[in-house]
């Protein structure tokens, strides 16, 4: 009787998740996409190209956001265990949103304080400002983790297992739409800054812009989640309770029991690194090799995002069902490799149109590969320990994105020393060439992924663990 009542409650809750409600909920993910463009795109380019920051400092600072990813486990547990006024998810989403909006606004004065310290050349102020910048990005990453972990938990709470792929698809597409909208908005609002490199002119304009962005993002975050979460709801996840029965120690033994898990973890690290190594230097590539102004380099993300959105839809609706997940992932990775090669060639020709065209192709390739990689992640996840497996896959992606931010900037500095300060094309080509090698390595690792073998290995191990639990 109790299970029946819970099922009825769950069904009622799921019925209330109307498509329009899901669309409203996904607006939060769009806000994250918009902020990602600002931090990884616009501010990144301004710090490197206009303010002459060392690329390693910029990449290292931005990497601290991703290094905070393990805190998602902590915030997930807090969200489960400490409801606020009867709600487990929404208050933490709003607290996290307030945190990352505040950090976004505070980033502008700190960036220009760091620029002043670098200009004056005294090591103590430079060290203090550099540490403060890394701390700010760390707090920004913590706030992102605080908001996004309960947000994804809320999506799981409100949907059945059958409905989740559709919900995740809508949310993922909204993230890309947020990137596109953010890139276009930045391009429009920063047009007056084209050719401006004077800090006294840049700082007030960027500060005003960031205050507006922070206020709008906070308002949308409140609207996106308002009234969606019922009070004192119970999770609709049978897997979650099973995962608790296994326990953390046994879950880790399960994770390390299959060679296929290690192989796929390695693929995710290499694939994500190969996809995002260019991320911290892309706009600077447009600025220094193609002499594009800020308003146009920001549009590079819009073209890339548009291609990614199309690739996600093309992969999910047509390519992956026909070719299969492994084959689609392989095709997407090879397309990314070719796109990076074309990116180098476009720099040789100096054609702006070819640069934007290559980024559309690169986006389509990224969308195809990402769609199939996400599908493989679902296949390589046991329902009995879904949270543990998803956490491991998420850790692989966060780790490689952090490495991409650090190595992207650091390798650019190394490339400058190889090619000389007057030949910036060689420096950027050096990074893209290494990225091609990393993506080819990901393809070689992907060839060793075997879903059937994974299920056989982990199923046997989980049965052993459960019998050991009963015997104990």
| Residue 2 placed within a domain | no
pLDDT of residue 166: 64
Asked which of 178, 201, 236 is the last residue of a domain, the reply is: 236
CATH code of 407's domain: 1.20.1250.20
Lowest mean pLDDT among 128-132, 342-346, 354-358: 128-132
Q: What average pLDDT score do residues 103-112 get? A: 89
Sequence-ordered list of residues with C-beta below 8 angstroms from that of 335, at least 6 positions apart, any chain? 361, 364, 365, 368, 369
Residue 465 scores a pLDDT above 60:
no
Per the domain annotation, does 463 fall within a domain?
yes
Interval 237-254 mean pLDDT: 48
According to the model, what pLDDT value does residue 248 have? 46
| pLDDT for residue 312 | 80
CA angle 185, 186, 188 (to 5 degrees): 65
| Predicted local distance difference test score (pLDDT) of residue 385 | 55
Q: Is residue 63 part of a domain?
A: yes
Would the pTM of this model clear 0.75, i.e. be above it?
no
Looking at per-residue pLDDT, the higher value among 211 and 192 belongs to: 211
pLDDT at 90 over 70: yes
User: Considering the domain boundaries, does residue 194 fall inside one?
Assistant: yes
Helices within 158-255 (DSSP H only): 164-189, 199-225, 238-246, 248-255
Number of Cβ within a 10 Å radius of residue 152: 18
Query: Could you tell me if residue 14 is inside a domain?
Result: no
Radius of gyration of the chain (CA): 23
The answer to whether position 302 is within a domain reads yes
Domain end residue (candidates: 236, 269, 286):
236
- For residues 391 and 262, membership in a common domain is answered with yes
Look over the chain and give the mean of its residue pLDDT values, rounded to a whole number: 79
pLDDT classification of 190: cutoffs 50, 70, 90: confident
Top pLDDT among 178 and 176 is at 178
Question: Same domain for 417 and 296?
Answer: yes
Residue 40 has pLDDT above 90, yes or no: no
Q: Are residues 317 and 394 in the same domain?
A: yes
Asked whether residue 216 carries a pLDDT value surpassing 80, the answer given is yes
Residue 230 DSSP symbol:
P
213 in the same domain as 324: no
- Reported as type and span, the H/E element at residue 350 is none
pLDDT band at 99 (very low <50, low <70, confident <90, very high): very high
222 and 75 belong to one structural domain: yes
The answer on 353 and 255 residing in a single domain is: yes
**Percent of the chain residues topping a pLDDT of 90:** 24
Helix (H) or strand (E) holding 79: helix 71-81
Mean pLDDT over residues 81-107, rounded?
88
Confidence (pLDDT) at 160? 66
Decide which of 202, 236, 270 is a domain's last residue: 236
Would you say 111 and 210 are in contact if contact means Cβ atoms under 8 Å apart? no
pLDDT band at 66 (very low <50, low <70, confident <90, very high): confident
Higher pLDDT, 202 or 338: 338
In this structure, are 185 and 254 located in the same domain? no
Q: What is the pLDDT of residue 314?
A: 84
**Does 217 or 309 have the greater pLDDT score?**
217
Residue 264 lies in a domain: yes
Q: Are residues 261 and 207 in the same domain?
A: no
Give yes or no for residue 392 having a pLDDT over 80. no
Q: What is the CATH number of the domain that holds 138?
A: 1.20.1250
The Cα–Cα gap between 270 and 265 comes to 9
Q: Picking from 161-165, 338-342, 430-434, 445-449, which range would have the lowest pLDDT averaged per residue? A: 161-165
Instruction: Measure the N-to-C terminal CA separation of the chain; round to a whole number of Å.
Output: 31
Give residue 420's Cα distance to chain centre.
Answer: 33
Residue 283 maps to a domain: yes
Tally of structural domains, the chain: 2
User: Are 311 and 385 within one domain?
Assistant: yes
pLDDT for the residue numbered 394: 67
Tell whether the model's pLDDT for residue 11 goes beyond 60: no
Same domain, yes or no, for 157 and 107?
yes
User: Do residue 318 and residue 199 come from a single domain?
Assistant: no
- When pLDDT is averaged across residues 294-317 and rounded to a whole number, the result is 82
Percentage of the chain exceeding pLDDT 70: 80
Domain range enclosing 171: 19-236
Q: Is residue 125 domain-shared with residue 245, that is, in the same domain?
A: no
Average pLDDT over residues 450-462: 75
Residue 170, pLDDT above cutoff 80: no
């Amino acid at each position: 009787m109790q299970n029946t009542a819970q099922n009825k409650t769950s069904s009622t809750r799921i019925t209330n998740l109307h498509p329009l409600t899901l669309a409203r909920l996904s607006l939060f993910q769009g806000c994250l996409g918009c902020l990602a463009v600002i931090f990884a795109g616009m501010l990144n380019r301004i710090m490197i190209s206009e303010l002459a920051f060392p690329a390693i400092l910029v990449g290292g600072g931005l990497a601290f956001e991703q290094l905070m990813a393990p805190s998602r486990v902590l915030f997930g547990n807090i969200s489960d265990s400490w409801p606020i006024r009867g709600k487990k998810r929404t208050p933490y989403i709003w607290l996290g949103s307030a945190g990352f909006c505040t950090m976004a606004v505070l980033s502008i004065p700190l960036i220009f304080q760091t620029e002043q310290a670098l200009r004056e050349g005294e090591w103590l102020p430079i060290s203090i400002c550099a540490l403060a910048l890394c701390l700010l990005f760390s707090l920004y990453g913590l706030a992102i983790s605080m908001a996004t972990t309960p947000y994804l938990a809320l999506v799981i709470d409100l949907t059945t297992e059958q409905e989740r792929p559709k919900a995740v698809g809508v949310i993922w597409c909204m993230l890309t739409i947020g990137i596109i909208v953010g890139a276009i908005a930045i391009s429009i609002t920063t047009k007056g800054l084209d050719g401006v490199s004077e800090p006294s002119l840049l700082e007030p304009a960027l500060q005003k812009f960031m205050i507006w962005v922070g206020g709008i993002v906070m308002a949308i975050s409140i609207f996106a989640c308002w009234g969606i979460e019922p009070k004192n709801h119970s999770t609709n996840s049978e897997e979650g309770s099973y995962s608790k029965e296994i326990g953390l120690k046994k879950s880790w033994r399960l994770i390390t029991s299959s060679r296929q898990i290690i192989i796929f973890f390695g693929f995710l690290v290499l694939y994500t690194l190969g996809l995002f190594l260019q991320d911290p230097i892309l706009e600077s590539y447009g600025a220094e090799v193609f002499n594009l102004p800020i308003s146009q380099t920001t549009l590079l993300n819009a073209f890339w995002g548009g291609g990614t959105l199309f690739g996600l839809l093309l992969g999910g609706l047509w390519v992956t069902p026909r070719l299969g997940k492994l084959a689609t992932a392989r095709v997407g990775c090879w397309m990314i490799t070719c796109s990076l090669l074309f990116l180098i060639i476009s720099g040789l020709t100096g054609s702006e149109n070819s640069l934007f065209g290559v980024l559309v192709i690169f986006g389509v390739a990224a969308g195809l590969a990402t769609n199939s990689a996400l599908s493989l992640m679902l296949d390589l996840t046991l329902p009995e320990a879904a949270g543990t497996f998803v956490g491991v896959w998420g850790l692989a992606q966060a780790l490689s994105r952090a490495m991409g931010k650090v190595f992207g900037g650091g390798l650019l500095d190394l490339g400058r020393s190889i090619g000389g300060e007057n030949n910036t094309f060689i420096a950027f080509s050096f990074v893209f060439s290494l990225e091609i090698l990393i993506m080819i390595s990901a393809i070689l690792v992907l060839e060793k992924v075997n879903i059937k073998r994974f299920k056989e290995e982990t199923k046997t191990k989980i049965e052993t663990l459960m019998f050991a639990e009963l015997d104990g």
